Amino acid sequence: MASHLLTATVSDFEAVRLPCAFTEQELIDAMIVGDEYAWVEFHKRYARLIYRCITKVTGRFSSVVCAEDVREIYATLVLQLLSNDMHKLRSFDPERGNRFGTWIGMLAINASYDHLRSVRREPNRGSLVEAEGMWSETSDPFAEVDRKQREQILADMLEGFSPKDRLFVALYFDQGLDAEEVAQR
């Protein structure tokens, strides 16, 4: 790795404010020291390439990968570049014969395969739209307990009624007869 990468500071890049003026190495150095303009320029230059590499890998798996997953893979790649004091960015060495864009594309492809492996390990999940449409034939457990408690209270109350009053309650409330029909019986 080039030694000038280790000695770069934020003040070294304060003069470089025009994003289009960054050379590839200046861009990497500025990203390492946290220059926000460098990160904006990184996204401008390489977002299309990164998305193309991600969709090249995930396109064959459209049944398990959606547009949200593609954005998640992109975000994961950026987090990988930032993690561990930007270890991945610091490990890029142009003297190995790779261009930065090629190296970023390779990282995007690897992040895509990592995501696909993690999706394969997860159980199948339906979408939220499918989940909203689901309902159960059985009632809510709390409603079931409430119903049983009410039945018990009613049964306890009916025990204190005379047989004639219990017959009235059964005919009026259970069978839905009006009071005049109950009186005729």
Domain boundaries, the chain: 4-125, 141-184
108-139 confidence digits (pLDDT tens):
999 999 999 988 766 666 666 666 666 666 67
Residue 4's pLDDT is what?
40
pLDDT per position as a tens digit, 25-53:
999 999 999 999 999 999 999 999 999 99
**65-109, pLDDT tens digit by residue?**
888 999 999 999 999 999 999 999 999 888 888 899 999 999 999
Decide: pTM greater than 0.85: no
**SS3 labels along the chain:** CCCHHHHCCHHHHCCCCCHHHCCHHHHHHHHHCCCHHHHHHHHHHHHHHHHHHHHHHHHHHCCCCCHHHHHHHHHHHHHHHHHHHHHHHHHCCHHHCCCHHHHHHHHHHHHHHHHHHHHHHCCCCCCHHHHHCCCCCCCCHHHHHHHHHHHHHHHHHHHCCCHHHHHHHHHHHHCCCCHHHHHHC
